[in-house]
Structures are given as structure tokens and as C-alpha cells.
Amino acid sequence: MKTKENCGGIDVFRLLAAVLVIAIHTSPLTSFHPEADFFVTRILARVAVPFFFMVSGQFVISDLLFRKDTGGRVLLRYLKKIGLLYGIAILLYLPIGIYAGHYQGVTVYSVIRMLLFDGTFYHLWYFPACAIGTLLIAALSRFLKLPAMTAVVGALYLFGLFGDSYYGLIAHIPVISGAYSAAFRLFSYTRNGLFFAPIFLLLGVWAGSRKQGGARVRGIVGFALSFLAMTVEGFLLHQYDLPRHDSMYLMLIPTMIFLYQLLLHWRVSAPRNARPVAAWIYILHPAMVVVVRGMGKLLHQTELLVENSLIHYVIVTAFSVAAASLLAEGIAHWRKKPFPQGRAWIELDRSALARNVRFLQSRLPEGCSLMPAVKAEAYGHGAVLIAKELNTLGVRAFCVAGAAEGVKLRKGGVKGEILILGYTHPREFDLLRRYRLTQTVVDYDYACEMARYGKKLHVHLGVDTGMHRIGERSENISQICAIFDMPNLIVDGMFTHLSATDTMEPSARAFTGGQADAFRRLADGLKEKGYPIPKIHLQASYGVLNYPELAGDYARVGIALYGLLSTKQDTLRWKDSLAPVLSLKARVVSVRPLHPEESAGYGMAFTAQREMKIAVIAIGYADGLPRSLSNGAGAVLIDGCRAPIIGRVCMDQTIVDVSGISHVRAGDIAVIIGASGNETISAADLAEQSGSITNEILSRLGGRLERMMV
Ligand SMILES: *Cc1c(COP(=O)(O)O)cnc(C)c1O
């Protein structure tokens, strides 16, 4: 299933960082205030390149380190990409470099040094630094774990520091300065792939794995303090004339750690193409400096366009952004990737999800956490997308139906406990351990099967209190004790499932009370026998809403988290507290007339009685649109108007009546679930029209739909 992750804050900062790099190379404030320019270019803008390294760390190095199966491929792909960009940039700047006399008196040795460390043009050192830093980390990871690696690359950074901003401190110490002089025959600066890049690449890995909610204030204060300290550090070093170069500061490390956390939690939507545009700004801006200088000469405006440093900076930036955007657009056009909203797709409302989490949490007492059910692709929403979003909202436990679903979440980077609610084949027990999944004990026989496996497994004990689906029967206390006694089973939790919480009718209430009592009796019995009671949970969505008093340590909420309840009536009842997360949309394929007596679709199931206008939309039952909505049972929304479904829903396409809607054209958007203008169709409407429940409608939404968080 295809999902798209949104890293808005990181993506927006890519653009800001690229613009800061331009500042480093053009010194925008020199004409006005040298000290201010020093601050902007030698201190503030110094966060830009480490930021880019951290992004590579988060998105590339993590895969390299933690996905042993695909790590090698990830490394190759990344090196190829970096190599390609570096190659293009080298060719682009070759004429300028030759013209500027950069390559006079080159030797084979100096060419290698340039290619590997210094870069063939002054900003191009970044690319070999990425490659060498990555290779260094790949090599270290063969012997060391992440903390030890971090210590090693931290020591390399310290070495680099004394060849950079702190050079003045060691320049006069005989042996040490000798060592640095030798090193500087290999490379001109220590801010390169050996001493500078690796630490930030690894900090990116840490940042990606430590993303947590609720630390906003600490992040802002931490960033402000460390950046202030870095500013003081920069000015002091400058005052005492210690730097040989000024890329590396001690305080740059905490500054970057805090800054990156803030960016990870910054919820903005980045402009389309932000990633390639930032990369091309980085590559192209020196060429734009040349262009602007040339323009200045040609127009006899050098004084304005070049000598006024601020105007120069603004124009170079504008040119760079324009050139980068055009190029990125051109490349995207040339590569012709599928457009995620080209056919039929799902949009997820991030703020609705957050609201539902807050509301459900508010119905539970302190100490009871949500354990969202993200089985069946999070009820069709996209499991990784939803679970990662929930991670950032502070949710630390999930439940799924099977081992494969759990593995997929882990591979997608989901943190916290993952409980498998159903059966796992003994051949998959190794998976449980490798991916830190918790297994439900389905019954006593299954526990014996798990005991035979021998190695330690984390489990929650399922208890049957009346649903008679899974769990050991609550009255079988001796078997349950035996399960607790199995030496390789670590019983972290114990739960039952309430089967009649969706109505408040007296008989259902009595039945639910009976289930809760049976569960409590079991817990009391275990306590009496001296067994420690693990985490307990009983409620699903309806349990939380109708029986909040039955809260345990967890609540396994599913459908309500997605902003709906199983029936239309219940959904309407809770609509002020719960907001639907999912919208389902599809493109209009074609608009055509249907004359009287003509039929549309398979089997002549619909025949026009009058002159009609019909539209074909690009979604069908293979995407999860129930075939039972055929022939007027269902409708879609186009341009805020209802368009009834006519004829039979096909596998990939559906025909709707748009006679009453003017201006419908191919390429327009039809809303199948969601709002359009003042009209709304809810998944609960579809459920009612097709004789099902929302849970079924949602969980059957097809794998070929693109899912995106908006
Ligand atoms: C699916 C499931 C849930 C979630 O149910 P909702 O009614 O969607 O909240 C909870 N517990 C178990 C055992 C489940 O199978």
C-alpha cells in the first residue's frame, strides 16, 4: 500500500537552509554592518549544512543501519544519487573554475584531494563529504553499535574543531600543530567527510528515532540557550582571532539537536517540490552569482547589483530560487512520476485525528492509555501513516490483527508496544522477537504451543468472558495460572473483549456487566493466589463511550478514533465529539450525454427515460466502493451537488448522473466519502446504503488508493 509521509517542518527548512547557504557565499550585510554580517554568515548560517547532513542521517543512514536486509541497496542508491549530483555540479562549474583560474598547476594528487575533500568548486565539498561520511559510518557499523559509533564520530568532530574554529589554541603546540599541518596536506579544511559530516549524519539518525510529542517548550528553550551560547562562542573566538576557518563550533552540536527536534514537530505544509528545489538552490547559486555579476557589467549597474551587498544577496537568491524551481519542475516533468491524486485517493485529516485522540483520552481516567486498533491498514486509512502520526501525538501502544501487520509497522518506524490480537503461526514466533511484537494467548492450547518454542515471548493473555471468540475461558483459573507459570511467557497484559457494548438496552447492559464481573473475579482469584496482575484492558470504542467506568490500563479504540461509529445513528449521536479522519476522492474521467432509451453500464441495468448528462468516475468496487451501491442506492458529490450512481458499479469505474450539475468536466474531483461544498457523505451513509457497518466499508478500501495526510 502506498503512503506518503509529510515532514513539513523539515521540508520548509530545507529551503531556508539553502537560502542561508547563499548568504554564506554572498555576505549580505557587509556593506552595512560587518559585525551583523559576521553573525549572519559565520554563526546563524552555520546551521544550514549540518541540517542537510542530519536530514540524510534521518532518511538514509537510519535505513542503512537498521534494515540489515536492504542496507546495502540503500547505500548504493544513495551513493549513486550523490555521485550523479556531484558529477553534474562538477561539469557545471568546470568552465567557471577554469575561467577563475582555480585549476592552474593541478597535479594528480591535488585533483584527488579536490575530488574527495575540498570539492572542485568552493561549495561542492558537501557532496564528497556526504559520501565519505556515509561510507565511514557504514564501515563503523560493522563493529560498533550506535552509541559507540556516536562517540567515535564525536571524537573526530573534536579533532576537526581544533583544525577549524579553535585552531589558534593548538597552532603553537609543536607536536599537535605538526600533526594538523600533515593533515592539511591531505585536505584544506577539517570540515569535510571525515571530521564534520559523520556526527551530524548520526545525530539525524538519533533525531529520527527519538521523535517525541509534548517537548515543544523544552525544545524552544534548549535551542535558544544553545544558539545564544554558540553566538557568544563565535564572537569570542573571532575576537581572539583563533579560527583558521569558522564552520565548526562546540555549541553547534546542541543547537542542531534542539533545532532539528523543533523542525520535526513543526506542522506546516511545505511547498510542492521543496526537496529538489532546495538541492538545486544549493548547487546553482554560485552560478547565479556569476550571472548577476555579468548582468551588472552589461547593464553598467555593478554598483547597485554587486556592490550593494544586500541587493546583491536578494537578487542572487531570487535568481537561484527561480532557476532551481524551473529545473526541478522540468526534471519532474521529464521523469513523469504518477500523480498521487491522479485517479482515486484517500486524504487523512491530521487535526481530526488529533481531536479524536484528545476526546477519547478525556473520557478515560488518569493512567488509562489509548491502544489504538490499527489492524486492517488502520481500518483502511493506512496503518503506518496513522500509527506514526499517533506516535507524534504521544500514543505508545497499538494493536493489530496479525504478525505481518506488526512487522510492517516496525519497518515503517512505529514506536511503542504492538499487540497482535489474533493467531500467529508458530513458524512466525521468531518474528515476534525480532520485531518486538506482543502476542495474544488465544487459549490454553496455544499457550502450550508457545511454551514449546522455548525462547522468551511477550504476551497478553486473552480471556473469554462471554463472546466465545478468543481467550481462555475466565472460569478456568487453573489453566490460566499454568499459563502465568510458563517460564518463557512474559505476561505483560490480560484482556477480554466486550461483545455487546454498542447498545444500552437492559439485556445488553446486564450482559456487559456479567462480562466485566467475570473478568474481575478472575483478577481477584489470581491476586489471591499471589500472581501479580499485569496491565488489563476491556474496552473497545463503544466500551469507552458507553461504559467509561470499565477503563483499565489500556483502551483498544478503533472505529471511534477514526471519527465514526459503526452505524449512522451512533455516528450522528457522537458527531460533536468525533470528527471523521478519512475522505475518499476520485477524478471524473469523462462527461457524456445519455439519450432516452439508451442504457449505461453492464447488463443494461440502467436505461435513460429522458435526456441526461452522465459522468464516469475513476473508482470501482476493487477500490472498496460497494457494488451494492449500484443503481441509485448510492451517490457521490461533485462541485457540492449530489450525483446518484446509475447502472452497476464496475471494478474500476462508476457512472453517475450529473444532469443537474453544470460545468462538470473531465479531471474534476468527485467526493465519495467526505465534504464538498455544503454537502457531506459519511462512511456511515455508505454503510447504511449498502447494508453494512462503517468498519467494513473503511477496512475494505483498496490497496491501490494512494493515502496522504493533509
Ligand atoms: C478490532 C478490535 C478492537 C477495536 O474495536 P472498535 O470497535 O473498532 O473500537 C478492540 N479489541 C479487539 C479485540 C478487536 O478485535
User: Mean per-residue pLDDT for 383-389?
Assistant: 95
Q: Atom 13 (ligand 1): residue with closest C-alpha?
A: 497
In ligand 1, the atom with minimum distance to the C-alpha of 566 is 7
Is pLDDT at 686 greater than 90 in this prediction? yes
Q: How far is the CA of 545 from the centre of ligand 1 (A)?
A: 13
Residues identified as active-site: 375, 602
User: Mean per-residue pLDDT for 115-130?
Assistant: 90
Mutate to test the pocket of ligand 1, among 421, 498, 693 (most ligand atoms within 8 A of CB): 421
CA distance 406 to 421: 10
Q: List Cβ neighbours of 620 (8 Å cut-off, separation of 6 or more).
A: 649, 650, 651, 652, 653, 654
- Of 3, 699, 12, 710, nearest to 340 (Cα)? 3
User: Mean per-residue pLDDT for 636-644?
Assistant: 96
- Quick one: which H or E segment has residue 492? strand 489-496
Establish whether residue 402 lines the binding site of ligand 1, counting it when its CB lies within 6 angstroms of any ligand atom.
no
User: Mean per-residue pLDDT for 169-177?
Assistant: 92
pLDDT one-digit tens code per residue, 355-379: 999 999 999 999 999 999 999 999 9
User: Mean per-residue pLDDT for 155-159?
Assistant: 96
Establish whether residue 540 lines the binding site of ligand 1, counting it when its CB lies within 6 angstroms of any ligand atom.
yes
Task: Give the per-residue pLDDT at 4.
Answer: 43
pLDDT one-digit tens code per residue, 493-537: 999 999 999 999 999 999 999 999 999 999 999 999 999 999 999
- Quick one: which H or E segment has residue 10? helix 8-26
Q: Atom 8 (ligand 1): residue with closest C-alpha?
A: 558
User: Mean per-residue pLDDT for 662-683?
Assistant: 95
Please state the φ and ψ torsions of residue 409, each to the nearest 5 degrees.
-65, -45
Task: Give the per-residue pLDDT at 211.
Answer: 52
Task: Give the per-residue pLDDT at 398.
Answer: 98
User: Mean per-residue pLDDT for 240-267?
Assistant: 93
User: Mean per-residue pLDDT for 44-67?
Assistant: 91
Establish whether residue 85 lines the binding site of ligand 1, counting it when its CB lies within 6 angstroms of any ligand atom.
no
Q: How far is the CA of 383 from the centre of ligand 1 (A)?
A: 15
- Of 520, 515, 539, nearest to 467 (Cα)? 515
User: Mean per-residue pLDDT for 201-225?
Assistant: 82
Establish whether residue 316 lines the binding site of ligand 1, counting it when its CB lies within 6 angstroms of any ligand atom.
no
Q: Atom 6 (ligand 1): residue with closest C-alpha?
A: 558
In ligand 1, the atom with minimum distance to the C-alpha of 542 is 7
Distance between terminal CA atoms of the chain? 18
Establish whether residue 559 lines the binding site of ligand 1, counting it when its CB lies within 6 angstroms of any ligand atom.
yes
In ligand 1, the atom with minimum distance to the C-alpha of 375 is 1
Task: Give the per-residue pLDDT at 103.
Answer: 82
Task: Give the per-residue pLDDT at 3.
Answer: 40
Task: Give the per-residue pLDDT at 2.
Answer: 40
Establish whether residue 537 lines the binding site of ligand 1, counting it when its CB lies within 6 angstroms of any ligand atom.
no
User: Mean per-residue pLDDT for 386-404?
Assistant: 95
CA distance 223 to 229: 10
CA distance 292 to 311: 11
pLDDT one-digit tens code per residue, 598-618: 999 999 999 999 999 999 999
In ligand 1, the atom with minimum distance to the C-alpha of 540 is 9
pLDDT one-digit tens code per residue, 298-315: 999 988 888 999 999 999
Establish whether residue 408 lines the binding site of ligand 1, counting it when its CB lies within 6 angstroms of any ligand atom.
no
Mutate to test the pocket of ligand 1, among 357, 359, 398, 399 (most ligand atoms within 8 A of CB): 399
Residue 549 CA: distances (Å) to CA of 164, 512, 558: 63, 12, 18
Per-residue pLDDT band for 122 (boundaries 50, 70, 90) equals confident
Other Cβ atoms closer than 10 A to 300: 9
Task: Give the per-residue pLDDT at 210.
Answer: 62
Q: List Cβ neighbours of 487 (8 Å cut-off, separation of 6 or more).
A: 451
pLDDT one-digit tens code per residue, 180-207: 999 999 999 999 999 999 999 999 999 8
Three-state SS string over 402-460 comes to CHHHHHHHHHCCCCCEEEECCCCCHHHHHHHHHCCEEEEECCHHHHHHHHHHCCCEEEE
Residue 440 in contact with residue 483, Cβ under 8 Å?
no
Q: How far is the CA of 557 from the centre of ligand 1 (A)?
A: 6
CA distance 259 to 273: 23
Record the pTM.
Answer: 0.68
User: Mean per-residue pLDDT for 123-148?
Assistant: 94
Q: What angle do CA 79, 85, 89 make, to 5 degrees?
A: 140
In ligand 1, the atom with minimum distance to the C-alpha of 421 is 13
Task: Give the per-residue pLDDT at 535.
Answer: 97
In ligand 1, the atom with minimum distance to the C-alpha of 556 is 10
Establish whether residue 74 lines the binding site of ligand 1, counting it when its CB lies within 6 angstroms of any ligand atom.
no
- Of 692, 708, 559, 575, nearest to 634 (Cα)? 692
Establish whether residue 497 lines the binding site of ligand 1, counting it when its CB lies within 6 angstroms of any ligand atom.
yes
